[in-house]
Amino acid sequence: MPERQRATVVLHPDFRIGAVDRRMFGSFVEHIGRAVYTGLYEPGHATADEHGFRRDVADLTRELGVTTVRYPGGNFVSNCVWEDGVGPREEREPFIDLAWRTIEPNQVGTDEFLQWAEREGIEPMMAVNLGTRGVAAAAALVEYCNGEAGSKWADMRIANGREKPYGVRLWCLGNEMDGPWQIGHKDAHEYGRLAAEAGKAMKLVDPGIELVACGSSSMQMTTFGSWERTVLSYTYDIVDHISMHAYYEDRDGDRASFLGSGTAMDRFIERVVATADAVGAQRRSDKRITISFDEWNVWYLESRFAGGENLPLQRDAPRVIEDVYSALDGVVVGDLLVTLVNHADRVPVACLAQMVNAIAPIMTEPEGPAWRQPTFYPFAETARLARGVALDLRVQAPSVTTALHGAVPLVTAAATWDDVDGTDGALALFLVNRSGEPVDVDLTHPGLRVELTGGVQLLADHEPAVEGPEHAAKVAAACLSTLGAPPAGTGDGSTTVTLAPESWTALHGTASRI
């Protein structure tokens, strides 16, 4: 019998990446398909609150651990006139959303969303339209949201029933402006100049806001790298973050490449960081641009989606990109979260795209139930456990060569330590086995006394995903399990953990300095 593969993870209390920003566990609500209507908002639903928002979805959002929600897009924002979506609902007119070819009923807008976020204790992340609009409209929206009484747009908000400013801190300067699919698509110079002027005006309205410039829509864009460099050459002194978007899928059953998606994400982050730092170095600037990874997920973009331009013009919240996920997809989502935690120093903001129905961990039926997809569980556990600082682990593991990503390690790991008083605290360890065989992981922890008390494990499946709550519950019952405490390590010795094939594991416990 061949010897089982082994990996080593070294954890030391003094080797730290950086603090884990709670905004890393954000999500995304766009006016697409059923993400808003019959997803987040359904006045006739049995669980609807007095404002028309589904309580069952809000409860699952809370369980998911979402801290930040980006709104209203996404591609939708690039032909959105925000002023048309405020004020009395009965006076609002439906319009054609050009991005997803849907008649937008215009019943949920800025106030409805921001008040929902406030009630749920979620930080909003707003986007402004730099596709078909520009500087004045962007500054006006900041004034509407954040301004005090006595100015035009703030007084409009007050007249619409909201006296207190919303205090929105985080703002996106458009969306995917490098993409030819974007309404109002621009080249890097056009966008860079516009973003700089819009950002300048927005910060003159409210100097305390944070701004996100559009980065590349994916690492596969032909303009990747040069786009970031050019955009930041205009916006470096104005913005705080640059965006990243990335989606991954299982192509033609190539499980090894799919399970190695976290390596592709890691390389993407490193390349954007290098480009941003090069612009800063050229400018002799001490400022450090960080990343808002405000769209990431598993999305079967190539194999299941025909493209927005091929959608018929529809109304009444059509079913658009409602991917049904497997436990394999859940393991990959867990691995992508490992990558994000391991870049905590440069990725303070990240948004799982999206939150409800459209490529989402939460699904609903109109007038029916809401349920968790398999991708729900690794996000919820990571958001719950990843606290304090991300530790800089040293991982030694066998590798495998994949068709899409070249060599990828078979084991990935991340850890956080919430050492509140500087000596001990909660420890969380996240491990992924990308291999089809079990792997023994030797966790060495010099300088720390580690006690792991339990955890959760998600196993990849080999069955096709089937739509509906019954199948999702069946997958969870078969692939998700609660773990007891592994054998205890002693002193500054080693703790051994066995990882099941193609699995994501989250372990929790405590760690104290020796």
Q: Residue by residue, what is the 3-state secondary structure of 469-489?
A: HHHHHHHHHHHEEEECCCCCC
The least confident of 214-218, 304-308, 446-450 is 304-308
Q: Which of 34, 23, 32, 62 is nearest to 365 (CA)?
A: 34
Instruction: Give the separation between CA 187 and CA 211, rounded to whole angstroms.
Output: 20
Catalytic residues: 176, 295
Q: In 181-313, where does DSSP find H-type helix?
A: 188-205, 226-235, 255-259, 261-282, 301-304
Class of domain 25-386: alpha beta
Per DSSP (E only), the strands in 270-332 are 290-298
Strand 210-213 with 170-173, pairing:
parallel
Structure tokens at 190: 């056009």
What was the pLDDT predicted at 66? 98
Q: In 121-260, where does DSSP find H-type helix?
A: 135-146, 152-159, 188-205, 226-235, 255-259
Q: In 24-84, where does DSSP find H-type helix?
A: 55-64
Determine contact, residues 45/367, Cβ cutoff 8 Å: yes
Taking residues 20-41, what's their average pLDDT?
Answer: 97
Asked whether residue 441 carries a pLDDT value surpassing 80, the answer given is: yes
Structure tokens at 314: 């529809």
Rounded to an integer, what is the distance from CA 446 to the centroid of its chain?
Answer: 33
Strand 362-364 with 370-372, pairing:
antiparallel
Instruction: Give the separation between CA 456 and CA 378, rounded to whole angstroms.
Output: 9
Top-confidence residue, 320 or 409: 409
Side chain identity at 126, as an amino acid letter? M
Determine contact, residues 34/356, Cβ cutoff 8 Å: yes
* pLDDT tens digits along 342-385: 999 999 999 999 999 999 999 999 999 999 999 999 999 999 99
* pLDDT tens digits along 236-287: 999 999 999 999 999 988 999 999 999 999 999 999 999 999 999 999 999 9
Q: What mean pLDDT, rounded, does the chain reach?
A: 94
What was the pLDDT predicted at 418? 94
What was the pLDDT predicted at 3? 77
Instruction: Count CB atoms within 10 A of the CB of residue 1.
Output: 3
Q: What is the DSSP letter of 148?
A: P
What was the pLDDT predicted at 512? 87
Asked whether residue 63 carries a pLDDT value surpassing 60, the answer given is: yes
Instruction: Please tell me the CATH superfamily of domain 6-13+390-513, with its number.
Output: Golgi alpha-mannosidase II (2.60.40.1180)
Instruction: Give the separation between CA 288 and CA 446, rounded to whole angstroms.
Output: 32
Sheet arrangement for strand 439-444: 394-396, 5-10, 439-444, 494-499
Taking residues 429-447, what's their average pLDDT?
Answer: 94
Instruction: Give the separation between CA 54 and CA 493, rounded to whole angstroms.
Output: 50
Asked whether residue 118 carries a pLDDT value surpassing 50, the answer given is: yes
Determine contact, residues 426/415, Cβ cutoff 8 Å: no
Asked whether residue 182 carries a pLDDT value surpassing 60, the answer given is: yes
CA distances 19 to 284, 393, 432, Å, are 26, 14, 22
What was the pLDDT predicted at 490? 46
Asked whether residue 159 carries a pLDDT value surpassing 50, the answer given is: yes
Task: Tally helices (H) and strands (E) across the chain.
Answer: 12, 25
What was the pLDDT predicted at 420? 67
Determine contact, residues 374/476, Cβ cutoff 8 Å: yes
Determine contact, residues 87/160, Cβ cutoff 8 Å: yes
Each domain of the chain, given as residue ranges in start order, spans 6-13+390-513, 25-386
The least confident of 166-180, 280-294, 308-322, 365-379 is 308-322
Taking residues 47-62, what's their average pLDDT?
Answer: 98
Asked whether residue 495 carries a pLDDT value surpassing 60, the answer given is: yes
Looking at the chain, the whole-number percentage of residues with pLDDT higher than 70 is: 97
What was the pLDDT predicted at 406? 96
Per DSSP (E only), the strands in 1-41 are 5-10, 16-19, 26-28
- DSSP helix, strand, coil percent of the chain (3-state; round to 5): 30, 30, 40
Per DSSP (E only), the strands in 306-391 are 349-352, 362-364, 370-372, 389-391
Strand-pairing partners, residue 7, are 441
Q: At 2, is the pLDDT very low, low, confident or very high (cuts 50, 70, 90)?
A: low
What was the pLDDT predicted at 485? 81
Instruction: Give the separation between CA 192 and CA 229, rounded to whole angstroms.
Output: 10
